[in-house]
Amino acid sequence: MNIKQVAKKARVSTATVSRIINDSSLVSPETARRVWRTIRQLNYHPDSQARSLVSGRSRILGLIISDITNPFFPELVKGFENLALQNHYEVILNNTNYDPARMATCVRRLLERRAEGVAIMTSEMDPELTDELAKRGIPIVFLDVGSVRNRISNIRVDYAQGIREAVDHLITGGHRRIGFISGPMSLKSACTRKSAFLKCWRAYGFAEDNGLIVEGNHKIDGGESAMSRLLQLKPRPTAILASNDLSAIGALGAIRLAGLRIPEDISVIGFDDIDFGQFTHPPLATIRLSRTELGGKAFNALYRILHGDSKKGEEYNVETHFVARESTGPAPQPGRQTQ
Amino acid sequence: MNIKQVAKKARVSTATVSRIINDSSLVSPETARRVWRTIRQLNYHPDSQARSLVSGRSRILGLIISDITNPFFPELVKGFENLALQNHYEVILNNTNYDPARMATCVRRLLERRAEGVAIMTSEMDPELTDELAKRGIPIVFLDVGSVRNRISNIRVDYAQGIREAVDHLITGGHRRIGFISGPMSLKSACTRKSAFLKCWRAYGFAEDNGLIVEGNHKIDGGESAMSRLLQLKPRPTAILASNDLSAIGALGAIRLAGLRIPEDISVIGFDDIDFGQFTHPPLATIRLSRTELGGKAFNALYRILHGDSKKGEEYNVETHFVARESTGPAPQPGRQTQ
DNA sequence: GGCGCAAATGTAATCGATTACATTCCAACT
DNA sequence: AGTTGGAATGTAATCGATTACATTTGCGCC
């Protein structure tokens, strides 16, 4: 079922069939109709490998993430993929599983498949690997990476905005002792979030009190243990900001386990706005980061480079915003603090 | 950076380079070393499109699912992908978003990419589309589809086993009125689960009481509203089985909202064993369906067909098992039922 | 020394498309 | 009538690999 068989059956040359598949404008309408009928009859599907071999365009994009089972990523993938498919690109999804060696494998495979562009959101990125890609002129878009090398585009996440809104909200509610549960410091994105928090913190003139910042692991159990450490502080923090929603959900559990009430005793705010946050008890206030938008912007960045509408190395921006839900309330009166 | 340039630089023919890339046994070790050095120097990566064009093997597998943002799927994808990558296959992931038209697009794209095999776990599968694939001899594996046409392999999920274990557990605890929150009846998998429950139900000699079976939507909000309907029954059910964990989590919320305690007033059991279930309050008992295993078996089924180790149309099996957690307990004494 | 054989390597056809260039055909214009 | 031009279509080179078949080389043996 190749182009020759179609050409033969329709009594035209392969060139004509090819023209019809790609752009019928150079072919008489009558011939086009006849050939289309043959194509349908034979159920012909052009071989994209052959097409891209000669055209030099694979119509494949790579998307490299850490781990699809991390609830942060599915929406991002969906946002990227939907746009890609609409624009007739195929997406090859790569999970590095937080393993640098696997990352190298991913890049090699994308090179062999002749991917036209690559979007990357992982911590374990060896600069040599990006050079591999860059050397071949393959556009790269990083998502949420602090410092970006020359000629590599970046989608910045404006953490500061959302954090400012959240802290404003807490301060308006009378909170002054705010704890922070960070992600694992081995993860670049966790560091970025922590330093955005710290920066906001200092901007409010608060002293940097290390006891109020504890490290979790961006998972629920890490949030639980981080929170139980925070609960031992005296005076206890009246509000908690977590580096992601999973940590915050863990914190909810630890607080409840300690016999305290949310938000009467402690307010909790997460980060990301994963779906589950709406259904925790109480529903989790959070800072929304639209991952669909993040994925979509990553695709657009690549698309614009591939179509010459923009240069490599541009910066894009995704905003974050505070989402109020029932897990925050006014600070408890100092005297009434239980325990 | 193609094979010719490597051949030229290493002063050998392209055939020799090709042999070295694929299987050096026909080449003198000395030449092989020299050519490998050149390959590394030039940073040559063979073009997989060209390779598969002539070899007739794309080393691409398709994986078609409904929606990656549904927490059921990420682990399945991971299980499939990990094995595929280990065996040097590339995976093209397709989300149909529950849209039959999009499903058709997915299949067409996989045909054009000359995928060597396709694994499918969706409801919206038009038999014409599978025929398209089957006609071209592309092996297909369905995951968890009730009735399967000839020459199509199937990974069966043994729902009965897990449900039996769960119901046994409840009955041992004295429960006799057990409600069931089903998924949307528009989804084939939801129907399969419901009928497995009903079958088990009848096997225990219980009368089929339609009031005890209400339809949710496999999401949290649907579980909430289904549960609040179940709470209006008199006498109220003392235990609930849900068609998936999200529905069960919704049920937990509705029960708490009604001022009842879990498990003292009502026991709840979910289905799937998603990660979140461990962190609900109380932790959610569930019926575990290993999605990693499901994905892995799907790959193995395809792999064995592609390597001639098995025929098309074989059946595989994935077990399900009850996982006890704190959301179940003994049935409340009839007299002591509140409200 | 010549023959045969195996190991090492090369030559060229091939996969299925695209596309530059060539050809054919017919209408319009001088 | 002859020339021109453009529309429609065809011919054949090309993309980057693999591989059947051909060739070269070197060694052992009689």
Question: Does residue A39 fall inside a structural domain?
Answer: no
The most distant pair of C-alpha atoms in chain B lies apart, rounded to whole Å, by 93
pLDDT confidence of residue A259: 95
Q: What is the pLDDT of residues A234-282, one digit of tens each?
A: 899 999 999 999 999 999 999 999 999 999 999 999 999 999 899 888 9
Q: Is residue B53 part of a domain?
A: no
In this predicted model, what pLDDT tens digit does every residue of B26-60 receive, in sequence order? 889 999 999 999 999 999 999 999 999 999 999 99
CATH code, domain with B66: 3.40.50.2300
> Which 33-62 residues of chain B approach strand D with CB closer than 7 Å?
44-47, 50-51, 53-55
Q: What is the mean pLDDT of chain A?
A: 92
The verdict on A221 and A330 lying in the same domain is yes
- Rounded to whole angstroms, the Cα distance separating B322 from B162 reads 5
Residue nearest to nucleotide D14 (CA to C1'): A54
Q: How far off is chain B from A91, nearest CA to CA, in Å?
A: 7
Output the CA angle A32-B134-B317, nearest 5 degrees.
150
| Predicted local confidence at residue A178, as pLDDT | 93
Contacts with A52 from chain B: Cβ below 8 Å: 49
Q: Are residues B265 and B203 in the same domain?
A: yes
Query: Which residues does chain B have within 8 Å of residue A113's beta carbon, measured at their own beta carbons?
Result: 48-49, 90
Please report whether residue B51 resides in a domain.
no
pLDDT at A179 over 80: yes
SS3 A320: strand
Domain-located, residue A330: yes
Residues from chain B contacting residue A42 (CB–CB below 8 Å): none
CA-nearest of A160, A118, A43 to A302 is A118
Query: Are A123 and A212 members of one domain?
Result: no
Nucleic strand D within 7 A of Cβ B253? no
B34, B75: one domain: no
For residues B233 and B337, give the distance between their C-alpha atoms in angstroms, rounded to a whole number. 13
Split into its structural domains, chain A has a count of 2
pLDDT at A337 over 60: no
Record: contact B49-A93, CB cut-off 8 A: no
Model confidence pLDDT, tens digit, residues A43-95: 999 999 999 999 999 999 999 999 999 999 999 999 999 999 999 999 999 99
User: Mean pLDDT of all residues in chain B?
Assistant: 92
A80 plus A104 within the same structural domain: yes
Q: How confident is the model at residue B146 (pLDDT cuts 50, 70, 90)?
A: low
Q: Is the pLDDT of residue B336 over 80?
A: no
CATH number for the domain that contains residue B14: 1.10.260.40
- Same domain (yes/no): A220, A124: no
The minimal CB distance from A52 to the residues B43, B49, B67 is found for B49
B116 with B216, same domain: the answer is: no
Residues B172-177, mean pLDDT to the nearest whole number: 93
Judgement on whether residues A64 and A204 belong to the same structural domain of the protein: no
Instruction: Please state which of the ranges A102-111, B224-233, B274-283 shows the lowest mean pLDDT.
Output: B274-283
Q: Is residue B37 domain-shared with residue B153, that is, in the same domain?
A: no
B329 and B202 assigned to the same domain: yes
Residue A204, domain member (yes or no): yes
Residues of chain A (8-37) having a beta carbon less than 7 angstroms from strand D: 11-16, 19, 26-28, 30-31
Q: How far apart are CA B12 and CA B23, in angstroms?
A: 16
Asked if residue A26 belongs to a domain, the reply is no
Contacts (Cβ under 8 Å, ≥6 apart) of B57: B116
**Of the candidates A117, A259, A131, A243, the residue with the CA atom closest to the CA atom of residue A180:** A243
Would you call B53 and A58 a contact, using CB atoms and an 8 Å cutoff?
Answer: no
In a domain, A174, yes or no: yes
Query: Do A208 and A328 share a structural domain?
Result: yes
Of the CA atoms within 13 Å of residue B223, those in its CB half-sphere come to 26
A18 occurs within a structural domain: no
Rounded distance between C-alpha atoms, residue A171 and residue A239, angstroms: 10
The distance of B65 to chain A (nearest Cα, Å) reads 12
The per-residue pLDDT for A125 is 78
Which nucleotide is closest to the Cα of A16 by its C1'? D9
Judgement on whether residues B245 and B309 belong to the same structural domain of the protein: no
Question: Tell me, what's the pLDDT at B111?
Answer: 96
For residue range B104-125, what is the model confidence (pLDDT) as tens digits? Answer: 999 999 999 999 999 999 987 7
Q: Average pLDDT in the A122-130 region? A: 84
Q: Strands B60-65, B117-121: parallel, antiparallel or unpaired by DSSP?
A: parallel
Which of B22, B52, B59, B68 to probe the A interface (max A CBs under 10 A)?
B68
Count interface pairs A-B at CB distance under 8 A.
Answer: 104
- pLDDT at A21 exceeding the cut of 60: yes
Q: What pLDDT is recorded for position B144?
A: 87
Give the neighbor-by-neighbor strand order of the sheet with A213-215. A213-215, A178-182, A239-242, A267-269
Per-residue confidence at B335, pLDDT binned at 50, 70, 90?
A: low
Is 90 exceeded by the pLDDT of residue A285?
yes
Please give the Cα distance from B110 to A52 (Å, whole number). 15
B139: domain range?
58-158+290-319
Using an 8 Å Cβ cutoff, are B282 and B63 in contact? no
Residue A336 has pLDDT above 70, yes or no: no
